[in-house]
Amino acid sequence: MNTQQLERQFQQQEVDRLVKRRIRNLAESLAHLAEVSEGRQLVALIGKGDEFSNIEALQTWIALELKNCGLREENELDYLYARLFMVLGDYTPSML
């Protein structure tokens, strides 16, 4: 591998790390806003099924939502909050 390839690989790893951090922060904020409890209730509803917690299920769901919606960063949390309740439908915060 030459120097340019290594530099591009490093830059991509840095971008990936920042995206993962952003998704994790959004998931934690969304869980707080939506009063999502600890546990695994969301795994079957919005996750892929292999997540270990509601936060991980939110991270999976957020990554897919952001890939599909194309929002600017300042609008993401509001959109995700509204979208989560649309997806969950009739579920109440006490059920989460």
The predicted model scores a pTM of 0.81
Longest Cα–Cα distance of the chain, Å, equals: 55
pLDDT at site 90: 58
> Taking Cα atoms as reference points, which of 72, 18, 85, 76 lies closest to residue 46?
85
What's the structural domain count of the chain?
A: 1
Give the whole-angstrom CA distance, residue 88 versus residue 46. Answer: 8
Mean confidence (pLDDT) of the chain: 87
- Give me the domain span that covers residue 40: 3-95
pLDDT at 94: 53
Q: What is the pLDDT of residue 4?
A: 86
> What pLDDT, on the 0 to 100 scale, is given for residue 15?
87
- pLDDT tens for 36-82 read 999 999 998 999 999 999 999 999 999 999 888 776 777 889 989 99
Tokens of residue 8, six digits? 């591009």
The CA-atom distances, in angstroms, between 24 and each of 8, 17, 37, 84, 85 are: 24, 11, 16, 16, 19
